[in-house]
Amino acid sequence: MQQACVFSFFLLWLGLSGVMGLEITGGVPCSGFYLVWVLLSGLPFLLRPLAWAERRFRPKMTLISQHGKRAWVHLAPWQPTTDLTPSRVCLFWQNVNASTCQALETHRTVIISSHLLTGIRARRLLAHTTEYGLTVRSRIYQIPFTPWKRALMQLEILFRQWRWRTDFRRDWPVLVLRRKSLNTEK
């Protein structure tokens, strides 16, 4: 099913690129059309150099987004998740820890969802919040990772990292942290 979703996306994108190419070249399929079609079809692969440039200007590895009374801690979309050195992995998790504590200072509920989250990493994160002086209740949910979501993840990895990956977890771990008290004295 996942491969069918990816194949459907590619067919849709090639068709859409062809329609845009015909519109740009005046509706005449000539050599100019084929050049425009190839260029438009390859546009998603420019996400990797754009992500590289964005990492130079925005080196932060995590983002905190706010939805009502909740905060979400996300991996920054321009950060790579493969071929990381041990020091880079350590830096990433330090950023997740810092962003989580920062979000817990201003929000009562913080949600962390990542395909990189594991039980051990969640326990380390909870230990860090305790060291930071925050008392939280936590719960890990396993959200089903549907074929369409896996296909989107596969396409994102292809376009942003120029890598083909097909093995994904069946469940997506989501860690929900809720501060026990509103006072955040350390």
For the ranges 37-51, 85-99, 121-135, 168-182, the lowest mean pLDDT is seen at 168-182
- Secondary structure class of 110 (helix, strand, coil): strand
Q: Is the pLDDT of residue 76 over 60?
A: yes
What pLDDT is stored for residue 186 in this prediction? 44
pLDDT, mean of residues 53-78: 83
**Both tokens assigned to 141:** 């949910």
pLDDT, mean of residues 175-181: 86
**pTM of the shown model:** 0.69
What pLDDT is stored for residue 121 in this prediction? 87
d(CA 179, CA 185): 12
pLDDT, mean of residues 138-154: 84
